[in-house]
Amino acid sequence: MVFFKLMFVLSQGESPPLYLHDMRPRQRISMTQPRSSSRTRTVVPNTIVEETTSTTSTAEILSSSSSPPNIESDSEKETINTTKILLRSQFFEWVSKNFAHPLSGISEGGDFESAIYYERDWRYTRNMALRKEALEEQNKVNNFNCKIEHQIFSSKCKQPSNSLVFHPYDPHVVVATKDYLTVWDYHSSYKLSQWKPDTRSHNFDLSYRATPQLSAVELINSHDIALVLAGYNDGNIQVWSQCIDGPPKLVSGWHALPICKSPSFENSSMALHWDQRSCHLICAGDSRIIKIWDIETETKLTALSSGVNASVTSLSMQSKENNIFAAGCKDGSIKVFDKRLPPDEAKIASFIGHHSKILTLRLQDAAVVSASAYGDVKTFEFGHSSPQREFHVNNMHSAAIHSMCNIIACGVNQMLLFYNLEGQLLNSFKSTDWFMSSRYTPLMTTKFHPQKVLLSTGAMDGTIALYSIDPKR
């Protein structure tokens, strides 16, 4: 009899009760809908709505149930709509943003709500603004609207500098002397850090060379948190981190280049070039071998032969195409390589126009601008064996070519001379310890900022000076 009553109720299309003892005798419910209705009820999603004309309503049938259906009257809806919302939340927007990205294997730097992510986002915005500012400075110099004549920094190191490198975005310059690495903030004239790298693990089997010394320095990942890469004249390389915030920490180190023991290779220097886009490091020095390393995987990619019995003194890579680079040698020759080709076919061009050591060079598009120790500044173009443009600077000891604008800085004893690529003298002045000093020292190293029109110089007595364009112009 109970089963029959249950089937009778279900046959009328009603919602079943939750318990059997809730079932009571009910009148027969008509299945016909009322033809006239003063107002149409809006159906609430995920609820069961039953329109009946019987005296016993559906709400009364299920009134004794422990979980009645969610049916709201029109008056209740109006009351809810007019209620003032006291609390508002952005939880739904946060969840949508967070789960729109993959979460598997995510690191702290990839967390879009972490402090590291916001810090990197700030660096990206700052770097964009600095590149725009640097482009305006380059246009001023190219249009002869301003000159490099304003000294903004000067300091003294324990030893003469062998290599200098600017941070592209932070106001920092890294100085490599014979035994020390120093990081300076040239805006505040504050020494951020200085340390002496440990060289006890280096190979000392070279009879003509005593203890190794620093000869080249580069910056890795300068767009984010930079690492200092130091190269020694014995072919070893060290990578350092925490060079500003804390005590420097040795991250990695390896023997990157074999050193020839022939006296013709005794140059006591190492040439490095870092390419950020491919994370490749080009190493050259007192060897006829040029090695390319993948720093990300710490593996050697290829080894190329320079084809001459002389040291490599300078390296440069195309700014737009990061597969072609040029190497300037001690005998005055310039070799151009394509690292995508096999080692036997990698040399794609060769220029023989200088008769002394190449001090610096720049490879841009299909032209090579180079400066030698005899004072010759020449421009070679692919497809031509002779230089297309050249001029001479007497008694030149150091030189630097800006990577973005057409300007060359030449160190002549105590003088700094600035030329354009056509050989026109832009300006010149004597370098001093500071603007109030009258003592002049010979310049040994010069280096341009990779983007800004900013020049750093290193003198023989250890003085470091920085020069920029006049900020008032």
Residue range 403-423, pLDDT digits in tens: 999 999 999 888 899 999 999
The answer to whether the beta carbons of residues 52 and 61 sit under 8 Å apart is no
Predicted local distance difference test score (pLDDT) of residue 82: 60
The architecture CATH gives domain 147-469: 7 Propeller (2.130)
**Cα(389)–Cα(237) distance, integer angstroms:** 37
- Taking CA atoms, 191 is separated from 107, 138, 167, 438, 447, in Å, by 33, 28, 15, 24, 19
* Percentage of residues in the chain having pLDDT higher than 90: 46
Listed residue (254, 231, 244, 257) closest to 188, CA to CA: 244
Domain map (residue ranges) of the chain: 147-469
Buried b (16+ CB within 10 A) or exposed e, 386-402: ebeeebebeebbbbbbb
Q: What is the CA radius of gyration of the chain?
A: 37
Q: Would you state the structure tokens that stand for residue 140, as one six-digit string?
A: 């001023």
Rounded CA-CA distance 468/254 in Å is 37
CA dist 225 → 98, 167, 243, 244, 311 (Å): 25, 11, 10, 10, 33
User: What tens digit of pLDDT does each residue of 62-118 get?
Assistant: 444 444 444 445 555 555 556 677 778 888 888 787 777 665 555 555 667 788 888
CB 329 within 8 Å of CB 308: yes
pLDDT of residue 362: 95
Cβ atoms of 337 and 290 closer than 8 Å:
yes
Helix, strand, or coil (residue 230):
strand
Dihedral pair phi/psi, residue 52, rounded to 5°: -130, 160
Which tokens belong to 115?
């402090």
Question: What pLDDT score does 11 carry?
Answer: 44
Cβ atoms of residues 166 and 449 within 8 Å: yes
374: number of Cβ within 10 Å: 16
Distance CA 465, CA 456 (A): 6
What pLDDT score does 124 carry? 93
How far is it, in rounded angstroms, from Cα 148 to Cα 142? Answer: 12
Residue with tokens 């004249």: 233
| pLDDT tens-place string over residues 147-192 | 898 899 999 888 999 999 999 999 999 999 999 999 999 999 999 9
User: What's the CA angle centered on 309, arms 304 and 310, to 5 degrees?
Assistant: 90
Distance of CA 344 to the CA centre of its chain: 33
- Cross-strand pairs, 440: none
Beta carbons within 8 Å of 48's beta carbon, 6+ residues apart = 15, 69
With residue 299 as reference, give the H or E element that holds it. Answer: strand 299-305
- CB 434 within 8 Å of CB 450: no
Residue 463 CA to its chain's centroid (Å): 30
Q: How far is CA 163 from CA 101, 133, 187, in A?
A: 44, 26, 20
Q: What residue ranges of the chain have pLDDT lower than 70?
A: 1-83, 101-111, 201-210, 260-268, 432-440, 472-473
Q: What is the pTM of this model?
A: 0.74
**DSSP states along 304-347:** EE--SSS-EEEEEE-SS-TTEEEEEETTSEEEEEETTS-GGG-E
